[in-house]
Structure 1
Amino acid sequence: MASGIDTYHVPTRRETIKGGGVVIGGGLLAGCSGDGPAWNASETDTASATPPATRTDAETPYDVTINPAGTHTFESVPETYATIPGAWMDMAMALGIQPKAVAAFDRLPLKYYDALPGVEFDADAVQTLGESAESQYDKEVFYEVDADVHLMDPRLLKKYSGWDDADLREIESNVAPLLGSMIRFPFGGRDPYYTLYEAFEKVAEIFQRREQYEAWVALKESFYADVQSRVPTGDDAPTVAAFNFGFDSENGTFYAANIDAPRNDARSFRLLGVDNAFEGDSYVPFRPIGVEALLDADPDYIGVIGHLSYVDDDEFRELLRTAQDHETLGELRAVRKGNVVRTGGQYMGPIVDLFSAEALAKQLYPDEFGEWPGSIVDVPEDERLFDRQRVADVVTGTV
């Protein structure tokens, strides 16, 4: 099946597949073929040719389409994957499959998996593709890792690595397909192709884990319904000014996030029904605002996207103290009252999503949901908003 303008055939790789990687929930060895990267392709989302729920033979070749990467035909179910850590790794982890390789371990939020009983991330079994998440990757490392699929947006890999389209085609031809899509926020001015659970369904198609995916949908819908039924709405909802890339009071540069936009990293704020302090403004990633604009907005809360994942609790408390001591930022109501909150952000797959929503609910509405203790591991068992054991059972396939 072809997809995109630049069409070519990727032959089936390997007569045998080398073992490697740790699969929590099990899986089958894989070979794969594909037709054409769609990095320059049509941007219309295309469903899988055969819905996973109707397949009875996992060894039957099946197609998976993920924009902008294109369509790939899997001859058997992949077992291992490499990823640039983010939402796509968390999606696979939610199905019980840890990566064979990640770009790097810097800022990788393994604490979410440690907080689930019986769910482990064996870091010793995971290789790295580079020195940091934004490394200039060496193609030879991809050959060495020899994953069955690469869960990463080819545009992102191209941006970080400095490769051209020929390099990407080489890796697809000789190693494994590149299947992923940036959902964190707009990439190159384009809104994400998928919501979190639309992308998660694609991962379930790749690994043929339909039953686990449907269990996740039921779990999150129950959780969302409970939380949303208990939050204030309308004029009672607090205003939040949310920011990407931290809240650095030292240089006075702040990157406002439009939390109403269809972006994955701000989903916790939308779930909790807050009022966007920058409503009507077209703030996008990498466009800074000044202190004066922030003072004009003077929100009830400052939201720092991602700091729940990769900033430890002591560092976050220091961030608040620094802002309170700042000559100008200290004038903000949110800063004076200590109303600076944080969410899961860029790593937000299904698992991180639950922890992020719980943390934000407690930070915003402690009278309703219980006090936020400052760490996901310190939430008292009787004040948790979702059952850790139930989540662990879904992750490990005990559904």
Structure 2
Amino acid sequence: MAEQGPIRGVPTRRDAIKFGGAIVGGGVLAGCLGGEPSESESDGSSSGTDSYSVTMSPVGEVTFDAVPETVFTVFTQYADMAVALGYGDAVNAVYVPEMSGTTMNHYYHHLDGVSFEWEDLHDPLTDGLSKELLYELNSDVHLVDPAWVSTQDGWNDGDITEVGNQLAPWFGNFYSGTRAAAPDGYADYEYYGLWDLFGKVAEVFRERSRYEALAAVHEDLLDRIERELPPESERPTAVRVTFDAEAGVFYTYHLNKPGYWLADTRPLGAIDAFADADWDGLWGQVDYEVMAEADPDVILHLWGMTPSYSMADVRAALEDDPVGRDLTAVKTDRVYAQGMRYQGPIMNLFQIEMTAKQLYPDVFGEWPAYEDGDPYPEIPDDERLFDRDRVAAVVNGEV
């Protein structure tokens, strides 16, 4: 671990970014605003110096006297949000940088002028979340949920409060990902959708205009999907899995439950082959025989578009197994690479489009072949479900 840096005694720019009325880690939480940024809290400009506040569960009200210039993240959704708001260069840490950064750039490849430089970023979880690393990085804001931090080894309420007061505020909401119960001490925890959460982060950076422009693209995408979805009786059965070929185990996830981890599958309304399964945790485990009983029309392989998995190996392992090769999705070549659950707004747009084409090719156009290591496939102009140029222009500050 890095050596712990000093707690500075001389006021600096970062000392102006402070908590304004919430005790984080002790269970005393302020209420939360709705998902839309308010006019009084953001004028859409990142150049102002007037104090402003943003309220979100579980951190309560956080007051900023300046827009953060250095940003600590753990999970990719917040790094993607920073990129979307024009602050990708401010990120100093992200979970498994090569995996996260490569996957993000697989999508950004199709957005002119947008990229994420991940090579020199810290991995905040290499040795577990380290308070020493936070002191070393000395960030302006930690886009991390303190409720989640309270569950990590070596952290207590005093540590959480110390970092929030001495370094920079916490600003994150983890448990909205699955609507799971928050840890002890956070009884008033509030849940948000992905785009509501993005709106909160946009307030932190005073980027209301970018948020609203991207949210409009998202709404147009959802409106189109809702208009064109076939009736439920004509929809395929599907599963979302991560496959462990050596163990012969499928780690299974729901498709249509609440939570922003499913913000790319829930809008598509496919029939979840394991909808009635009640797993003790965030996912389940099934073997070949159980998968064969469900026999879904489509298998969506989570993490398949990341460097962590080879879809060629996944398909080969399924085809080599006497049960696996008889699965309908294998026989019809409908085992597809998917992205990451930890999706921010840009990732979400691409992953909704991806899932729409994988589930409903007759409606939304065929999903192109995908080779390991390639960027998100090129989609013909007339088969794209959202406007790449519009998104790129928003991210680049041209709208």
Task: State the TM-score, normalizing by the size of structure 1.
Answer: 0.83
CA distance in 2, matches of 1:120, 1:30: 30
Q: In the TM superposition, what whole-angstrom CA distance separates every residue of 1:34-60 from its partner, at most 9, and x where no partner exists?
A: 444444536785118995323477433
1:65 to 46, 55, 61: 55
2:157 to 165, 176, 182: 165
The letter for the 1-side match of 2:202 is A
Q: 1:292 to 1:349 in 2, by over 3 A?
A: same
Q: Retained in 1: the 8 A contact 2:255–2:262?
A: yes
Q: Retained in 1: the 8 A contact 2:37–2:200?
A: no
1:61-140 aligned within 5 A? 61-98=51-88, 99-103=90-94, 104-108=96-100, 109-111=103-105, 112-123=107-118, 127-130=121-124, 133=125, 135-140=127-132
- Of the structure 1 ranges 135-144 and 218-227, higher mean CA displacement relative to structure 2 is found in 135-144
Q: Retained in 2: the 8 A contact 1:77–1:206?
A: yes
2:32 to 35, 43, 46: 46
The letter for the 1-side match of 2:66 is S
Cα shift at 1:356: 0.7
Q: Does 2:245 align with 1:259?
A: no
Aligned to 1:211: 209
Q: Retained in 2: the 8 A contact 1:255–1:288?
A: yes
The letter for the 2-side match of 1:306 is W
Q: 1:341 to 1:40 in 2, by over 3 A?
A: farther
CA distance in 2, matches of 1:180, 1:43: 14
1:250-399 aligned within 5 A? 250-283=246-279, 284-311=281-308, 315-373=310-368, 374=370, 375-399=375-399
Q: In the TM superposition, what whole-angstrom CA distance separates every residue of 1:183-219 from its partner, at most 9, and x where no partner exists?
A: 3324457898111011111101111111111111211
CA distance in 1, matches of 2:365, 2:303: 22
Q: 1:192 to 1:366 in 2, by over 3 A?
A: farther
Q: Retained in 1: the 8 A contact 2:249–2:285?
A: yes
CA distance in 1, matches of 2:35, 2:275: 40
Cα shift at 1:128: 0.9
Aligned to 2:177: 184
CA distance in 2, matches of 1:189, 1:324: 41
- Of the structure 1 ranges 332-341 and 179-188, higher mean CA displacement relative to structure 2 is found in 179-188
Q: Retained in 2: the 8 A contact 1:233–1:273?
A: no
Task: State the TM-score, normalizing by the size of structure 2.
Answer: 0.83
CA distance in 2, matches of 1:79, 1:212: 17
Cα shift at 1:327: 2.1
Where relative contact order (Cα < 8 A, 6+ residues apart) is larger, the structure is: 2
CA distance in 2, matches of 1:189, 1:143: 26
Unaligned 5+ residue runs, structure 2? 1-6, 184-188
Q: Does 2:145 align with 1:153?
A: yes
Q: 1:120 to 1:303 in 2, by over 3 A?
A: closer
CA distance in 2, matches of 1:62, 1:17: 15
Question: RMSD of the TM alignment (CA)?
Answer: 3.0
Length, aligned pairs only: 372
Unaligned 5+ residue runs, structure 1? 1-10, 19-28
CA distance in 2, matches of 1:324, 1:215: 44
Paired-residue identity, %: 33
Cα shift at 1:267: 2.2
Cα shift at 1:161: 5.0
CA distance in 1, matches of 2:37, 2:389: 30
- Of the structure 1 ranges 192-201 and 69-78, higher mean CA displacement relative to structure 2 is found in 69-78
Q: Retained in 1: the 8 A contact 2:79–2:91?
A: no
CA distance in 1, matches of 2:238, 2:271: 6
Matched residue of 2:239: which SS? strand
CA distance in 2, matches of 1:385, 1:309: 22
Cα shift at 1:352: 0.3
Q: In the TM superposition, what whole-angstrom CA distance separates every residue of 1:314-372 from its partner, at most 9, and x where no partner exists?
A: x1122112112112222221122221123333231110011111212222223333332
Q: Retained in 1: the 8 A contact 2:239–2:273?
A: yes
